Amino acid sequence: MIYSKLRIQLLRNHIAAWNSQLSTKSKLQLGRFYSHQESLPHLPVPPLQQTLDKYLKTIRPLVNDAEFKKTQALVKELSGKNGLGEQLQAKLFERCKHKENWLSDWWLDHAYLKSRAPVVVSCSPSVSFPRYNFQGLEGQIEQAAKVIAAILDYKVDIDSETLPIEKLGGKPLCMDQYYKILSSCRIPGIDKDGVKSYARSWKPPQHITVIHKNNFFELSVYNSDGEPLSVQQLQIQLEKIVEMSTESGIPVGILTTLDRNTWGKVYAELTADEHNEKVINSIQRSIFALCLDQLSGKSTKNWRSSFALTCLHGGGSNSNTGNRWFDKTVQMVVDQDGGVGLVYEHSPAEGPPIAALLDHIYKYCQKSSEHCESSVSLPVPKSLVFNVSAKVSKAIDEACVAADSVCESVKLEVADFKDFGKEFVKSKKMSPDSFIQIALQLAYWRLHKQPPATYESASLRQFRLGRTDTIRSCSVSSQAFVEAMDEANVTNSEKAKLLREAVAAHRRYTNEAVSGQGIDRHLLGLRLAAIESGLPEPSFLKQDAYKRAMHFNLSTSQVPSQADLCMAFGPAVPDGYGVCYNPKADKVLIAVSTFVSNCDYNPVKYCEVLFKSLCDMRDLLVGESAKL
């Protein structure tokens, strides 16, 4: 999207029409968001030699001497004067001249829309709230009404484009993703999906999708005067929906768990029916989806872990997986046992906009809602019933089997590390994120005795329409530390020195990555530039060493939030962990996932070793201080 002067003027012309549909509180104040976006710099194309040199450094711990030597030769070949590297670099510079962001379209396509894997577990993360004190249907409806009201309250700032502009190191960040999380949806296709946002359409949606017992409903959440329904009015409407869906419906929603090509074909079959097309259009356009879940009936020792999994995949065809529409960007989940959470489709946004939304929901729900009597007669929520052909019915049966397999394939542990938090690390003049990342390296080494290729998400939001690059946490410095940590012949003073060097190296790489000087997106750009222009791909990108570098045994992300929220997602590879963490002042909330198929990878065991690693690293720093 190009925020040109012409576009701004067109939007100014539409203010009156939009304002007529919004509450007084949410009247548009056009200009702040667009002027802010225009002031952001464009994502740079890093120097070629710089990227190649960094690539060699990042793969050094992951490959043997022979593989490294071969890679060095291929990299040197690419960087030769007037060679392929310079040609591809010139293609990127040319693309940069004509794009707001030379990377964002490519990244959206290749990271998300062209991926044919199911979005469930492999792509879409979940977030779980701390357990609330409510039980049963009545408590579920009351809490769900508060959640709806909270999102509508947050939506006021989205509609008025007055969300506080975030900054990093004093620099403003791109807020574009914040304006794409509501009223948006992924659209299945064959070979490539699409993603649509309806928030800025001529008539912005004024309804949400409610799913109860696999039954879908369209619920208008604004009164005729443009004001949102009160919490009490929302409760009344949700009670109507529950009364209208006493029986379980056909789990059409489970089709959204299929691999994307299969789902694309079934979607075409579904939407060939004009009635179904209207039903799906209502779901896609809705502000968000609310999933009123049934109790699973399964007992569990760790409620938080169990509920995080329920948010992630629904629990299976006999539980709540059919009570979803996984293509929807935001799906709020409320069960009957104190559970509130979310699962979100990743293509429109990264974690921070979702965390900000959930922080707002958490704070809002802590307030006691004022009772508001209304004499306005509320319309009956609209039931969205699909016409299910024999072909679609067969696809649903197959999707149930496939979804159950996916649900059974993953383990997840959510745990609180309570011995210390980010304030202790900061008191030692270290980055908490870098400290945790080195602990992740140490835990992996202690369990598997090999260095892990590690992905950590680096935000590129300093740049217009910026998404992410990769922080490669496994380095020569981190490997030197983890190997020395359990060696009896290395003194604690030497270990502390190596720890500080490893943390500092990670921090440097992080600073470079968020400044647009990472390597992974640049290498992707070189490969795609070659493909689009008919030039050969860089040969080292076809090498086993590169495949090893992209085989992320640790797929990690820091998603901080003010509340005790924790994001969770599946591992990137069969022999790996998916790790997300929320560092707090005096603790760290951590979610770890693994695949059941690999018995050497267990999330509970990894958490145990990780917690010991964090404490051992702390003890090194405490001992260091004691000697001063």
Q: Compute the average pLDDT of residues 279-303.
A: 90
| Phi and psi based region of residue 381 (left: phi greater than 0; alpha: psi -120 to 50; beta: remaining) | beta
223 within a domain of the structure (yes/no): yes
- Which residue is catalytic, options 207, 212, 313, 346? 346
| Enclosing H/E stretch for 195 | strand 194-197
- C-beta separation of 322 from 529 below 8 A: no
Query: How large is the greatest C-alpha to C-alpha distance in the chain, in angstroms?
Result: 79
Mean pLDDT of 290-307: 86
Please list, in sequence order, all residues whose beta carbon lies within 8 angstroms of the beta carbon of residue 191, skipping any fewer than 6 positions away: 114, 116, 261, 264
pLDDT of residue 490: 97
Distance CA 130, CA 143 (A): 13
Q: What is the pLDDT of residue 12?
A: 40
Strand duo 289-292 + 330-334: pairing: parallel
Q: Nearest-CA neighbor of 21 among 159, 190, 118? A: 159
pLDDT digit string, tens, across residues 78-125: 987 778 999 999 999 999 999 999 999 999 999 999 999 999 998 999
CA angle 397, 399, 403 (to 5 degrees): 125
- pLDDT tens digits for 314-327? 999 999 999 999 99
> 370 or 506, which is more confident?
506
Model pLDDT for residues 508-520, shown as the tens digit of each residue: 999 999 999 999 9
The pLDDT of 439-448, averaged and rounded, is 98
Q: Give residue 21's pLDDT.
A: 41
Mean pLDDT of 60-80: 94
Q: Which of the two residues, 207 and 26, has the higher pLDDT score?
A: 207
CA distance 417 to 196: 39
| Nearest Cα residue to 546 out of 28, 9, 37, 67 | 67
Under 8 Å between Cβ of 51 and 85: no
Residue 17 pLDDT more than 80?
no
pLDDT given for residue 3 in this prediction: 35
How does strand 207-212 pair with strand 289-292? parallel
Closest CA to 149 of 54, 222, 40: 222
Q: pLDDT at position 24, please?
A: 36
346 is catalytic: yes
Q: Domain containing 148: what range? A: 132-295+314-408
422 belongs to a structural domain: no
- pLDDT at residue 137 above 80? yes
Whether pLDDT at 163 is above 70: yes
Output the domain CATH number for residue 221: 3.30.559.70
- Which pLDDT value is given to residue 36? 77
Identify the residue with better confidence: 376 or 431.
431
Torsion angles phi and psi, residue 380, rounded to 5: -70, 130
Number of separate domains in the chain: 1
- Across the chain, mean pLDDT equals 92
* In-domain check, residue 56: no
**What's the confidence (pLDDT) of residue 371?**
64
* Exposure string for 462-474, b = 16+ CB within 10 A, e = fewer: bbbbbbbbbbbbb
Question: Is residue 14 in a domain?
Answer: no
Residue 88 is predicted with a pLDDT of: 97
**pLDDT at residue 35 is higher than 50:** yes
Mean pLDDT score, 541-566: 95
* Residue 485 maps to a domain: no
List pLDDT tens digits, range 36-54.
788 899 999 999 999 999 9
Q: Which residue has the higher pLDDT, 60 or 224?
A: 60
